[in-house]
A and B are shown apart, each in its own frame.
Chain A
Amino acid sequence: MGNKHNLARGVTVVGAGMSKFGIYKDRNSKDFFIEAFQDMRASVDKGLDPRDIEALYIGNFSNDFFVHQAHWGPILAELIGHTPKPATRTEGACASSALAFREGVFAIASGFYDVVLVGGAEDMSKRNTEEVTEGLAMASVSYERDAGFTFPGVFGALATAYFHKYGATREDLMNITIKSHNNASLNPRAQFNMTIRDMMNAKIEKCKVRGEPVPTWKTEKEFLSDPVANPPVAWPMHLFDCCPISDGASCMLLVAEDIAHNFTDKPLYVAGLGQGSGRGLHAAEGLTYFEATRYAAQEAYEMSGLKPEDIQFAEVHDCFSMAELIHIEDMGFFKPGEGYKAIAEGQTRLNGSKPINTSGGLKCKGHPVGATGVGQLYEVWKQLRGEAGARQIPNKNLRVGATQNLGGTGGTCTMTILERR
């Protein structure tokens, strides 16, 4: 009680990979994981002999429901020649692979293993949208389901509470969507690799070709305000406030600090880890923040000795635009009720003072739920190594990045801080 959270020995990230998230009707989780695994192997500067991996931790939320196959630990272990060594599946809804990452870190910090592979996978496209909605809602609480809440519905409700308390509007959320698409247009791995403006132009072109009336949107916000182009899903959450259904996998190679240089001269250090648990809407402390994220952030800051202003950029769990606004406040980047103003000022843009979701976020990069936590860390890996290409943050001294992953309706939240030393 009250002890400072610390690792018994240092843990580093020396490799990372992900599959290109998207809809793949003719491929499954094994295909996605192999793609991520090969990408990870290619990223290890001094090479990896896969036989050196001692344990595997895999996040998967609900392939049980989506494709009627559970028990993904040994299945993926067999796939990469890891058997008979241990493989463990972690489940924390959409935060499943952030939990796998934590378990991998703990396994090394304890001294039990030196080389661990962590990751996640999810295969969602084999079910229709209504079924996926139902499957995801398995991670909410029963009272929410009885009331008819969907996931977009929960974030829609939080938005109405936030709007009421702080005076933000739908237009403030549009700033988030526009920014995410701008970043994604620079990310070749994004599921929606285009700006809102690109999408508007494509739709206008289509209308011209078909001889249909051409829409008259002038600005991105006019497009996003058009109920035909951007219909409500769970008001005030509209289509462009919501992340897509995606398939994909991600993985990361973790090794003990003392052997990191066998793999790379540029390891990233696990500087901060935090995880919290939350209650459903009916029992939550408040309706404009997640107590689990605040707790996770407090843990991660305490362990790292860092403060919110030390985090130079972050990937946060923007399953819905409203979620991004809540998270950047819960992580302490902006005061409660101030986040939307900072967004409007451009502070969270790629060239802003606190770039958020440089990958395009879940909204545009895609959200194969079990793969997302490590997928977010993949972006931090890319940015801190200066390998983010066109979306590289224009800061020569980029050293500290963080992720925030959320499962269910705030039931499981994590914060992870990686540092280049």
Chain B
Amino acid sequence: MEERPFNDNSYQQFLNEEKLMGSKCKACGAVSVPPRPLCSKCYNTTMEWVPFRGIGKLAAFTSVFVGPPYMVKEGYNRKHPYIAGVVELEEGGRMDARIEGMDATRPELIKVGTPLIVTYLHRDEGIEKKTFLAFKPI
């Protein structure tokens, strides 16, 4: 399908194109997101790309009130917290992602298990341009 190496760089390129892509081992069928160049189950290296639908549910989360400098730069602080979560994907596997569309100031109301759908956050311009994986409630 695609002639891209099965690595972090390609994974990020796909995110920039609003695609959540993983790898599938042609030998044993093990699926991985993010992609991996070597199958950690059978040690084969013949992979193919598999698209993920971007549907899942919230497995764990936190509302971050004291963020690192790169999140502070985006305008987050004690008064404006953000949510980081772990999302269990429909096809199996999990991803770390930013969680949008939920009130980070009221984390006690957020439920593990909430159904989510993927969204992509495009940040900055020029050479610092990068797309971040995010999910929001369905």
Task: Please give the residue numbers on chain A whose beta carbons come within 8 Å of chain B beta carbons, in ascending order.
Answer: 129-131, 133-134, 137, 142-150, 152-154, 156-158, 160-161, 163-164, 231-237, 280-283, 287
Asked if B69 contacts A130 (CB within 8 A), the reply is yes
**Chain A residue nearest in CB terms to B131:** A146
- A148-B98, A282-B86 in contact; A137/B60 too (CB < 8 A)? no
Asked if A143 contacts B65 (CB within 8 A), the reply is no
Asked if A160 contacts B62 (CB within 8 A), the reply is yes
B47 within 8 A of A: no
> A residues within 8 A CB of B94?
281-283
Number of interface residues of B (CB under 8 A): 36
B27 within 8 A of A: no
- A147-B85, A158-B60 in contact; A164/B66 too (CB < 8 A)? no
What is the CA–CA distance of A231 and B63 in the complex, to the nearest angstrom? 12
What is the CA–CA distance of A164 and B82 in the complex, to the nearest angstrom? 20
B4 within 8 A of A: no
B67 within 8 A of A: yes
**Chain B residue nearest in CB terms to A137:** B68
B138 within 8 A of A: no
List 24 interface pairs A-B (beta carbons < 8 Å), by A numbering: A133-B66, A133-B68, A134-B68, A137-B68, A146-B96, A148-B98, A149-B84, A152-B66, A153-B64, A156-B62, A156-B64, A157-B60, A160-B60, A161-B112, A231-B78, A232-B81, A232-B107, A233-B65, A234-B66, A235-B62, A236-B107, A281-B94, A282-B94, A287-B86
> A residues within 8 A CB of B107?
232, 235-236
What is the CA–CA distance of A129 and B62 in the complex, to the nearest angstrom? 19
What is the CA–CA distance of A281 and B34 in the complex, to the nearest angstrom? 12
> B residues within 8 A CB of A282?
33-34, 86, 93-96
The listed residue with most B CB atoms (<10 A of its CB), out of A131, A145, A152, A235, is A235
CB < 8 Å neighbour of A234 from B65, B69, B72, B97: B65
Q: Mark B69-110, 1 if CB is under 8 A from A, else 0.
A: 111100010100110111000000111111000000001100
> B residues within 8 A CB of A237?
62
- A142-B8, A160-B62 in contact; A150/B67 too (CB < 8 A)? yes
A-B contacts besides A157-B62, A231-B65, A237-B62, 16 pairs, CB < 8 Å? A129-B66, A131-B69, A134-B68, A134-B70, A143-B95, A144-B84, A146-B132, A152-B66, A153-B64, A160-B60, A161-B60, A232-B81, A233-B65, A235-B107, A281-B96, A282-B95
What is the CA–CA distance of A406 and B130 in the complex, to the nearest angstrom? 31
Asked if B68 contacts A157 (CB within 8 A), the reply is no
> B residues within 8 A CB of A137?
68
What is the CA–CA distance of A150 and B82 in the complex, to the nearest angstrom? 11
CB < 8 Å neighbour of B68 from A150, A163, A232, A236: A150
What is the CA–CA distance of A207 and B128 in the complex, to the nearest angstrom? 48
What is the CA–CA distance of A24 and B55 in the complex, to the nearest angstrom? 49
Q: How far is the CB of B114 from chain A (nearest CB, A)?
A: 11
